[in-house]
Structure 1
Amino acid sequence: MNETNTANPWLVLTGLSLGVLVTNGFARFAYGLILPAMRADLDWTYAQAGWLNTANALGYILGAAGTMLALRRRGPAGLFAAGLVMTALSLVATGLVPALWWQSLWRFIAGLFGALSFSTAGALAARLWANDPKRNALGIGILFGSGGGMAIVLAGATLPLMLAEWGDSAWPWAWLIVGGLSLLCVPLGLWAALKAPPVPRRDVNAPALPLARMLPQFAGYAGFGLGYIVYLTFLSAWMKEQAASALQVALVWVLLGACISLSPLLWRGVFARHASGRPLALVLTGIAVGSALPVLWPTLPGLVVSAMVFGSCVFMAPSAVTNFTRQNLPSESWGSAIALFTLVFAVAQTVGPYAAGMLGDHAGSIGVALLAGSAVLLVGAAIVSRQKPL
């Protein structure tokens, strides 16, 4: 680090993780906990409920594409900071008006600016221990795992019980609480962006990314985007179909978040050893198993095992592609490559929630959609297993 960037790298990583907590944990996955109350209070179909996450994903597409263009002119630190601030504000706004158009607008904006922060956080974290592969892999895993995992623990421990006590009509307060917690994370996140080691700017005349040789990795990540979001959008709705109590919902989500937070410790060795598609293939297989278990084993023990398996894998998919990028490409290409992976992921996850909601409406149960998501993830795992090191 140079003289202006002598901050403790673990503290910088903590600030970057808070950015992921806001933009990936609260902005995208808290919706799955609030969804059953919103759907009951506003009389939505599953397709309408899924549409809001599709609107979020559409914003994510635009944000990921915009990040790729903006990185030609600006460093990732400024984009991370702008995305964090606007995402936090969008979560507060979500709780103000119940109209579907308003909800769609702010879910879109949360996706747009969330992608800015998420696409750049990995590039910033990858520079903290650039010459230490094991610590680097652990840091990237902590970035995505602990940030998102803690958001799910906090939301899972409070929102289901609060909504059960206050009633479905209290869902706006859930968004205001989530938004308020997000605003508290902003100062440290902004400081971390300022103190993170600078990422070399990509030269416009530099060789293009070897896209053809990276196709299996892109295809696997697309399968991740299409399949994983079904579980996190509709898990609580499935549990409500099974007459689960608010306490059971809270237990499952807290376990899910705790396992997400601990998952970097399970995967750091795999990421450090392999520069191929094997880590992502293993991650996708685990997510697929976790997604199917609630339907195949629809009891509380089954849901607990499902949450533990799914949580131990799900946020390691971004870590897998970030480590693949770091191990196979020059550092000046990291930001652009991660933004491109995020764009592929965003396009895929746009389809998932709405299609799953329509499938659930048609079948009369959202469990069918969970199984479909699991099948997509297994296909993605099979494809990405063919990815060779570059």
Structure 2
Amino acid sequence: MSPTAPSRPWLVLIGLALGVCVTNGFARFAYGLILPAMKETLNWSYAQAGWLNTANALGYVAGAVMTMALIRRVSPSRLFSIGVLTTSISLFATGLDESLIAQSLWRILAGLFGAMSFVTGGALAASLFQDRPHHNALAIAFYFGAGGGLGIILCGATIPMMLDLLGPQSWTWAWIGIGLVSFSFCPLSVWAAEQLRPPTGKAPPKARTPIARMLGEIGGYAGFGLGYIVYLTFLVAWMKERDASVAMISLTWVALGISITVSPFVWRNIFARFASGLPLAMILTGIATGSALPILIPNTFGLMLSALIFGLSVFMAPGAVTNFTRQNLPQSSWTSVISFYTVIFSISQTIGPIGAGWFGDWTGDIGNSLLAASALLMIGAVCAISQRPLTDR
């Protein structure tokens, strides 16, 4: 059964977006800023550094599968709330033990619980403004873009300067601080989810998902998982190898976060207009371009242009598949289908960081991994452009 429309839908949307700030802006992408300090302090190779994001991705796979198993018995609202709270705990705990085993455990758990919250939150956001297509498209895009962008802005404005002032060994305090900020976001996020709790009653029958007719979108999203994470994992490490200043690193990351935050307003009309794979193909092309630009134009202009294009695109890929699901499938299947997409994405995402790290070690330049990621993203765009709508409009 559908939840009753909340009386304050925009505040509800902000609360849901803060959940993305925790589960994605912090739990997945803050690592790219902290990685150089951890690598230096703990004497890691690029492959070891990439492993921790692969561990996070493995947790994401488990979280998406678990969400698919639980969604028929536990409401999306409850799963979202549990996910935000437990992800916050995992982030805080990451700063308490430096061992690789402990780091791997908390990265896995942050991925597991983060996926639970991210998937169900997307379905909750898609349930807002159902009788107003442009508002609905904006709600979906805002959920994925604004919260993640805020997290990246907050991290970019604080973590590089903190690590520069206190030294690389202070990376543990960066995680503790992120955990504390995450705890402060939890009350509004949990309240927002509760406003969208469906009324009790018999669940609607589960609709059959036409997987064979969705292969273009699935292939595109798999390409997204393989390629996008390389930029967010290794860009700062690549910049530090080229003696980029702390101010330049911070500026690039904040510019990236600002671009992500405004991206919903760029894509909302495209989401509202197209029920095909075109939005995802356009987004993947933007991510691919942004990933390659720092290598092709290795100066300040290239970095800023890269952050702008990458930021305007990267968080909209989940929005594109959610929008595709919203426009082509019945609401009773939304959460399970989004969970399925997340499983595909997460499996491919496990390969990206450790594969890119190995390739960077082998070639002696992590910039080569950014170019390889760009090529994979373009292959994903070709898959996505082949996707046709599932219903006549």
Distance 2:121 2:208 in 1: 22
The amino acid that maps onto 2:15 is G
Match of 1:342 in 2: 342
Secondary structure (helix, strand or coil) at the match of 1:44 reads coil
Q: CA deviation at 1:7?
A: 3.1
The amino acid that maps onto 2:53 is N
Secondary structure (helix, strand or coil) at the match of 1:77 reads helix
Does residue 1:210 correspond to 2:179, yes or no? no
Does residue 1:155 correspond to 2:121, yes or no? no
Match of 2:141 in 1: 141
Mapping for residues 189-208 of structure 1, pairs under 5 Å: 189-196=189-196, 198=198, 206-208=206-208
Out of 22-31 and 206-215, give the one that drifted further: 206-215
Secondary structure (helix, strand or coil) at the match of 1:107 reads helix
The amino acid that maps onto 2:317 is A
- Deviations 1:319-345 (CA, angstroms, capped at 9, x unpaired): 100100000000111111111111111
Identity %: 57
Mapping for residues 365-380 of structure 1, pairs under 5 Å: 365-380=365-380
Distance 1:222 1:336 in 2: 17
Match of 1:91 in 2: 91
- Deviations 1:188-211 (CA, angstroms, capped at 9, x unpaired): 000001012639999685342000
Mapping for residues 280-359 of structure 1, pairs under 5 Å: 280-359=280-359
C-alpha contact (below 8 Å) 2:220/2:381 kept by paired residues: yes
For the aligned residue pairs, the C-alpha RMSD in angstroms reads 1.7
C-alpha contact (below 8 Å) 1:275/1:324 kept by paired residues: yes
The amino acid that maps onto 2:91 is L
Match of 2:77 in 1: 77
Does residue 1:32 correspond to 2:32, yes or no? yes
Q: CA deviation at 1:242?
A: 1.1
C-alpha contact (below 8 Å) 1:127/1:199 kept by paired residues: no
Does residue 1:224 correspond to 2:224, yes or no? yes
Runs of at least 4 residues off by over 4 Å:
1-5, 199-205
Distance 1:131 1:209 in 2: 24
C-alpha contact (below 8 Å) 1:150/1:261 kept by paired residues: yes
Match of 2:168 in 1: 168
Distance 1:200 1:65 in 2: 24
Match of 1:65 in 2: 65
- Deviations 1:297-332 (CA, angstroms, capped at 9, x unpaired): 111111011000000000000110010000000011
Match of 1:242 in 2: 242
Q: 1:2 to 1:323 in 2, by over 3 A?
A: closer
- Deviations 1:169-188 (CA, angstroms, capped at 9, x unpaired): 01001101111100000000
Distance 2:353 2:156 in 1: 20
Q: CA deviation at 1:6?
A: 3.7
Distance 1:276 1:218 in 2: 12
The amino acid that maps onto 2:179 is G
C-alpha contact (below 8 Å) 2:91/2:176 kept by paired residues: yes
Distance 2:202 2:208 in 1: 10
Match of 1:130 in 2: 130
Distance 1:140 1:243 in 2: 39
C-alpha contact (below 8 Å) 1:63/1:114 kept by paired residues: yes
C-alpha contact (below 8 Å) 1:119/1:338 kept by paired residues: yes
Q: 1:193 to 1:207 in 2, by over 3 A?
A: closer
C-alpha contact (below 8 Å) 1:263/1:316 kept by paired residues: yes
C-alpha contact (below 8 Å) 2:259/2:308 kept by paired residues: yes
Q: 1:281 to 1:99 in 2, by over 3 A?
A: same
| Unmatched segments (≥5 aa) in structure 2 | none
C-alpha contact (below 8 Å) 1:50/1:357 kept by paired residues: yes
C-alpha contact (below 8 Å) 2:4/2:198 kept by paired residues: no
C-alpha contact (below 8 Å) 2:218/2:341 kept by paired residues: yes
C-alpha contact (below 8 Å) 1:199/1:331 kept by paired residues: no
Q: 1:36 to 1:389 in 2, by over 3 A?
A: same
The amino acid that maps onto 1:65 is V
Secondary structure (helix, strand or coil) at the match of 1:28 reads coil
